[in-house]
Structure 1
Amino acid sequence: MPAPILETSRLTLRPHVLSDIDPFWEFFQSDRATYVGAPKTRTHMWYGLASEVGSWDMMGHGGWGVDLKDGTFVGQVAITQPPHFPEREIGWTFFAGAEGKGYAAEAASAALTWAWDQGFDTLVSYIHPGKARSIALAKRLGGQHDAQADLPTGETSAETLVFRHSPDADGSPEAYA
């Protein structure tokens, strides 16, 4: 099952394509990836992107490439659960020039709505404490810090905060009533 296409007023969330690799590689070579596990080689980059695509068939969720309506690729939103994650995570990666415009919030909101429509009852975001913008976005999306949540294998609370998302806080109509 390929990633479903989701549309917002300014964005298209779509299945990844091969040409997405180069912008991701550039991101992972920059300071913007300081707190993110970066691939060591382009082959590892390929494995990572392929897992985002393959997760759709194996697990029914995965990564979306995020494009502006003019087709400009600006980042990714993903719902994933690799083997070292105790829970399904919603995460986001946006490239230089795409921050501060609300794209991440818009794309993540669309992904959350999709998840709640699929019957997911919770998602988490695993965020390094030094990523202030991601923490702010998790809170903006209604995520609540969950200090009791299990952490990814090998990680500590000094390097990973968990923000819990649920339908009543992240986009169901009741959240906005």
Structure 2
Amino acid sequence: MMREAPVINTPRLRLRPHRMDDMEAFWAFYQTSRAVFIGAPKDRTHLFYGLSSEVVAWDWMGHGAWAIDTAEGDFIGQVAITQPPHFPEREIGWTLFEQAEGKGYATEAATAALGWAWEQGFDTLVSYITPENTRSRALAERLGAALDPEAPLPEGETAEETVVYRHSPDIDGSPEAYA
């Protein structure tokens, strides 16, 4: 039996396993300028491959992507803990659709995902961010991550293309710092 993403509820959000119908919202997102800092799929087939890999990662690796729904049931983005072959470390990343921007949803979803990771015994995660992506950099800092210029970069990327933020549980290893 395939393992899937656990459901995590926060005061305003529900992190859940992806469904096939999530693809259309992602496709629409990738057609906008908001996707400039994310490697966009060249067509719907490649989107299917990418999203499928984040779903099957739960079974193969014990972590992967969650869809983010509001309490009202609106699909607004994704938060993921992934490590594709070209990543030297596990990464936490996020994508939020435009209608959900500026409401604290990305912070709430990423905080919940970090809490889950610390409860699983992860001792660190990174976020690989394009230097010009000021919104993602600000979110990483709000989450307590620190720039780690010594961290290895994804294969084929340079320091001009990618900065690394390191996330760690608080000093006693407890996830409460992120609650």
Same fold (TM over 0.5): yes
Q: Does residue 178 of structure 2 align to residue 172 of structure 1?
A: no
Structure 2 unaligned residues grouped into runs of 5+: none
Q: 1:95 aligns with which of 94, 97, 100?
A: 97
| CA–CA distance in structure 1, aligned partners of residues 101 and 134 of structure 2 | 13
Partner of 1:27: 29
Partner of 2:50: 48
| CA–CA distance in structure 1, aligned partners of residues 22 and 174 of structure 2 | 28
Q: Which amino acid aligns with 1:19?
A: D
The SS at the match of 2:98 is coil
Partner of 1:38: 40
When the two structures are superposed, what TM-score results if normalisation uses the length of structure 1? Answer: 0.96
Partner of 2:123: 121
| CA–CA distance in structure 1, aligned partners of residues 174 and 167 of structure 2 | 10
Distance 1:58 1:135, change over 3 A: same
Give runs of aligned pairs for residues 1-177 of structure 1, distance below 5 A.
Answer: 1-168=3-170, 172-173=175-176, 175=177
| CA–CA distance in structure 2, aligned partners of residues 3 and 153 of structure 1 | 27
| CA–CA distance in structure 2, aligned partners of residues 141 and 74 of structure 1 | 19
Q: Which amino acid aligns with 1:44?
A: H
CA contact (8 A) 2:119 2:175 kept: no
The SS at the match of 2:137 is helix
Residue 29 of structure 1, CA deviation: 1.0
When the two structures are superposed, what TM-score results if normalisation uses the length of structure 2? Answer: 0.95
| CA–CA distance in structure 2, aligned partners of residues 89 and 120 of structure 1 | 11
Residue 97 of structure 1, CA deviation: 1.2
How many residue pairs match? The answer is 175
Residue 21 of structure 1, CA deviation: 0.1
The SS at the match of 1:97 is helix
Cα RMSD after superposing both structures? 1.3
Distance 1:76 1:171, change over 3 A: farther
Residue 172 of structure 1, CA deviation: 2.6
Distance 1:19 1:171, change over 3 A: farther
Q: Which amino acid aligns with 2:61?
A: M
Q: Which amino acid aligns with 2:50?
A: G
| CA–CA distance in structure 2, aligned partners of residues 58 and 26 of structure 1 | 28
| CA–CA distance in structure 2, aligned partners of residues 151 and 137 of structure 1 | 20
Residue 171 of structure 1, CA deviation: 7.3
Structure 1 unaligned residues grouped into runs of 5+: none
